A and B are shown apart, each in its own frame.
Chain A
Amino acid sequence: MDVILFLEQCLNGLQLGIMLFLMAAGLTLIFGVMGLINLAHGSLYMIGAFACAAVATWSGSFALGLLASLVCAAAAGALIEVGVMRRLYQRDHLDQVLATFALILMCSEAMRWLFGSFPLYLDVPEVFYGAIDLFGVLQYSRYRLFIIVLGLLTAVGIYLLISKTRVGMRIRAGAADRQMTAALGINISLLFTLVFALGAALAGFAGALVGSIQSVEVGMGEPVLILAFVVVVIGGIGSIRGALIGALIVGMVDTLGRGYLPQLLQLVLDPAVANTLGAALASIAIYLLMILILIFKPQGLFPAHG
């Protein structure tokens, strides 16, 4: 096996993991703090990507687009929390799933109505085009390195916010005991709106970052939502640390599976069979991983309240 290719694939795995973390962080934050299953997370991701594409095309500035994705997704999140979610905290999870599923359909149609049925144009800025030389031997995409750096910064930022600031302390308190926190004079409904908007902003930010190397179109959020749920379940529902580690594991397993499973199978099988079987196995590898982890750790790797 080629060592340089293997290194590059490991970097790719790391980068996919970081992207997945950006998508899953908001989801797990909302679930961990508010006990709410939000299927519309993928729609917020889509809103972020569309906002970034529209603003970047209009202004010519990718940075402004990123900012717009944060603002629009957070605003949409706050609106959804105040308008819909607030009525659902006391209901069971099935009601939440139904309501947020309805939101998916409404958001998709709204986007189609606003922007049309054709995919939008969103490209990374010129500076991130092309590959960069790493250690003189490895060519690696600049934009993917940029995503790795931004993702790690985001992870550190969330960690500091939750564990070192007063708002973070209140969020943790609200997660542990909602009524007691409210009794201590903290405006719990404002706090929840804030958390929901923060989770939405993370989703929108991920949508903008990832959308610029993928396709910005209606329905782009749903496949992401499924992956984000896999990450959250593996990592332990509600745990930010779990989401980070779960995302990195999923990213590695998926990338290395796609890169090497067909070749490994060729050692024992006919090439044509190995190719098809390898591709099929690679595409279900992360789900197999999820099953294995759930057998041995039903609460996920890092249970939030354990």
Chain B
Amino acid sequence: MKNKLITSLLGAALCLAPQVQADAVKVGMITTLSGGGSGLGVDVRDGFMLAINNANNADLEVVIEDDGRKPALAVQIADKMIQKDKVDILTGIIWSNLAMAVVPSSVNQGVLYLSPNAGPSALAGKGCHKNYFNVAWQNDNLHEAMGNYANGADHNNSFILAPNYPAGKDALTGYKRFYTGSLAGELYTKLGQTDYAAEIAQIRASGADSVYFFLPGGMGISFMKQYTQAGMTTPVMGPAFSFDQGILQAVGKSALGVRNSSQWNKDLDNAANKTFVADFESAYGRLPSLYASQGYDTANLILSAMQTTDISDKDAFRAALKSAQFDSVRGNFRFGNNQHPIQDIYVREVVMQGDVLTNKIIGVGLKDHQDAYAVDCAL
């Protein structure tokens, strides 16, 4: 009799438990906070937490862990966050290879994933998923915009180079998708390569009228320094990743005048962006980067969905996310059918403001742009 009572009490308690947690949303952030490339993760985290702290919503809880840029570690953390911490939403991953290791299995377990950075093509086309949202861009987008811009800027003999790995190939494919001129050369370098003397010699000999490169992180810093130190003057273009606020100071004056494509810049004229830039500077004492803006937008997207729906109703919550009813720091922002952004991509130029290197917008690369894979997505 007594046993029966306890069982039924337990049963009642179990039934009640989800009700108690229902309105609280738990977010797990897996990002790179140590080792090479940790600057990106730190920026995403800081941007994300800035929005969370500003909103001061007691129903939102965030747990943050460092993946050290290691896919195996990221998978472990994701498993732990899903099974032990019972998170509703995962976010934070910077690198495409880590995203590919974590995202498919997580979204299949019913967890929502909001990407603040990586946008591999495999998750945008046939592999799209109702639980997967990309708040940043599809990987090809910035390169496509630069290719389109090159046509208008009278560049018709580009030399293009990228590391020999999937995102590198996507980058050059993206550039070529819109670029209509001829190619003076196309090179794939080793991932993590630090010396570019051989490549720069080939560029010099090729007679190119412009250079487009995608070399993320330290590779881009090395390339730009060596390029100008070798006395090269052929105009250089790249995606925002190599000319971002976090690494511009390390590239130094070699970066001056370089044009790069980005979906965001700190001089974008909208109220949300002005608040973001001012708050970020006063909170952290440095200028925000595009990674920080992506983290900030991701957090605001979650907060906007929480205002109208409850996480316990997954379908409604997903619909609220997809409607993207938040003030993006990018201005125009909406999701396409594959839950990747449709947005404007700008062209910026590196300038010196006072004694700080930064970017200013000089044009639009692609207006209201959707990625090329969306047509393959069944959503």
Question: Contacts A130-B231, A131-B230 known; A9 to B198 CB distance under 8 Å?
Answer: yes
**Bound Cα distance A9, B247 (Å):** 29
Chain B residues with CB below 8 A from A259, complex form = 198, 201-202
By the criterion CB–CB under 8 Å, are A214 and B225 in contact? yes
Chain B residues with CB below 8 A from A220, complex form = 36, 194, 218
From the candidates A9, A118, A144, A262, name the one contacting B250 in the complex (CB within 8 A): A118
Is A179 an interface residue, CB under 8 A from the partner? no
By the criterion CB–CB under 8 Å, are B201 and A12 in contact? yes
Chain A residues with CB below 8 A from B186, complex form = 275
By the criterion CB–CB under 8 Å, are B35 and A108 in contact? yes
Report B192 CB to chain A, min CB distance, Å.
5
From the candidates A139, A218, A258, name the one contacting B36 in the complex (CB within 8 A): A218
By the criterion CB–CB under 8 Å, are A214 and B204 in contact? no
Report A6 CB to chain B, min CB distance, Å.
10
By the criterion CB–CB under 8 Å, are A8 and B221 in contact? no
By the criterion CB–CB under 8 Å, are A255 and B36 in contact? no
Report A271 CB to chain B, min CB distance, Å.
9
Chain A residues with CB below 8 A from B194, complex form = 210, 214-215, 220, 223-224
Is A120 an interface residue, CB under 8 A from the partner? yes
Is A172 an interface residue, CB under 8 A from the partner? no
**Which chain B residues numbered 162 to 177 have a C-beta less than 8 Å away from chain A?**
164
Is B42 an interface residue, CB under 8 A from the partner? yes
Chain B residues with CB below 8 A from A108, complex form = 34-35
By the criterion CB–CB under 8 Å, are B35 and A119 in contact? no
Report B73 CB to chain A, min CB distance, Å.
14
Chain A residues with CB below 8 A from B250, complex form = 118-122, 215-217
**Bound Cα distance A15, B197 (Å):** 9
The residue of chain A having its C-beta at the shortest distance from the C-beta of B204 within the complex is A139
Report A18 CB to chain B, min CB distance, Å.
12
Interface class of chain B by DSSP = helix
Is A2 an interface residue, CB under 8 A from the partner? yes
User: Of A71-79, A190-198, A278-286, which binds chain B?
Assistant: A278-286
By the criterion CB–CB under 8 Å, are A128 and B229 in contact? yes
Chain B residues with CB below 8 A from A224, complex form = 194
| Bitwise interface map of A from 269 to 294 toward B, beta carbon under 8 Å scored 1, else 0 | 00000011001101100000000000
From the candidates B197, B205, B249, name the one contacting A255 in the complex (CB within 8 A): B197
Is B327 an interface residue, CB under 8 A from the partner? no
Report A286 CB to chain B, min CB distance, Å.
10
Query: How many B residues, CB 8 Å from partner?
Result: 43
**Bound Cα distance A141, B230 (Å):** 4
By the criterion CB–CB under 8 Å, are B226 and A213 in contact? yes
From the candidates A112, A119, A141, name the one contacting B231 in the complex (CB within 8 A): A141
Report A9 CB to chain B, min CB distance, Å.
6
Chain B residues with CB below 8 A from A16, complex form = 195, 197
From the candidates B34, B188, B230, B252, name the one contacting A276 in the complex (CB within 8 A): B188
By the criterion CB–CB under 8 Å, are A258 and B189 in contact? yes
The number of A-B residue pairs with CB atoms under 8 Å apart is: 135
By the criterion CB–CB under 8 Å, are A118 and B190 in contact? no
**Bound Cα distance A118, B193 (Å):** 19
Chain B residues with CB below 8 A from A8, complex form = 201, 204-205
From the candidates B202, B231, B249, name the one contacting A121 in the complex (CB within 8 A): B249
Chain B residues with CB below 8 A from A119, complex form = 39, 218, 221, 246-247, 250
The residue of chain A having its C-beta at the shortest distance from the C-beta of B226 within the complex is A213
**Which chain B residues numbered 191 to 238 have a C-beta less than 8 Å away from chain A?**
192-195, 197-199, 201-202, 204-205, 217-219, 221-222, 225-226, 228-231
Is A102 an interface residue, CB under 8 A from the partner? no
**Bound Cα distance A213, B36 (Å):** 18
By the criterion CB–CB under 8 Å, are B198 and A118 in contact? no
The residue of chain A having its C-beta at the shortest distance from the C-beta of B218 within the complex is A215
Chain A residues with CB below 8 A from B195, complex form = 16, 19, 213-214
Report B259 CB to chain A, min CB distance, Å.
21
Is B323 an interface residue, CB under 8 A from the partner? no
- Of A108, A117, A217, A262, which is in contact with the most chain B CB atoms at under 10 Å from its CB? A117
Is B351 an interface residue, CB under 8 A from the partner? no
Question: Contacts A124-B229, A258-B199 known; A279 to B218 CB distance under 8 Å?
Answer: no
The residue of chain B having its C-beta at the shortest distance from the C-beta of A212 within the complex is B225
Report B246 CB to chain A, min CB distance, Å.
5
By the criterion CB–CB under 8 Å, are A282 and B190 in contact? yes
**Bound Cα distance A224, B192 (Å):** 10
**Bound Cα distance A282, B39 (Å):** 30
Chain B residues with CB below 8 A from A63, complex form = none
Chain A residues with CB below 8 A from B156, complex form = none
**Which chain A residues numbered 181 to 235 have a C-beta less than 8 Å away from chain B?**
210, 212-220, 223-224
**Bound Cα distance A258, B187 (Å):** 9
The residue of chain B having its C-beta at the shortest distance from the C-beta of A283 within the complex is B190
Report B166 CB to chain A, min CB distance, Å.
12
By the criterion CB–CB under 8 Å, are A123 and B225 in contact? yes
Is B38 an interface residue, CB under 8 A from the partner? yes
**Bound Cα distance A94, B30 (Å):** 33
By the criterion CB–CB under 8 Å, are B218 and A283 in contact? no
Question: Contacts A119-B250, A128-B229, A214-B225 known; A279 to B164 CB distance under 8 Å?
Answer: yes
**Bound Cα distance A255, B189 (Å):** 11
Report B199 CB to chain A, min CB distance, Å.
7
- Of A141, A216, A219, which is in contact with the most chain B CB atoms at under 10 Å from its CB? A141
From the candidates B193, B201, B231, B252, name the one contacting A123 in the complex (CB within 8 A): B252
The residue of chain A having its C-beta at the shortest distance from the C-beta of B69 within the complex is A219
**Which chain B residues numbered 252 to 269 have a C-beta less than 8 Å away from chain A?**
252-254
- Ordered by A's residue number, 11 sampled pairs between the chains whose C-beta atoms are within 8 Å are A5-B205, A108-B35, A117-B42, A129-B228, A130-B231, A144-B197, A215-B221, A217-B221, A258-B189, A259-B201, A259-B202
A interface vs B, CB < 8 Å?
2, 4-5, 8-9, 12-13, 15-16, 19, 108-109, 112, 117-124, 128-131, 139, 141-144, 210, 212-220, 223-224, 255-256, 258-259, 262, 275-276, 279-280, 282-283
A4-B205, A259-B198 given; 20 more Cβ-contact pairs under 8 Å: A2-B205, A8-B204, A13-B198, A15-B197, A19-B195, A118-B250, A119-B250, A120-B250, A139-B231, A141-B197, A144-B230, A212-B225, A213-B226, A214-B195, A214-B221, A214-B225, A215-B250, A255-B197, A259-B202, A280-B164
Interface pairs A-B: 3 shortest CB-CB: A215-B218, A131-B231, A219-B36
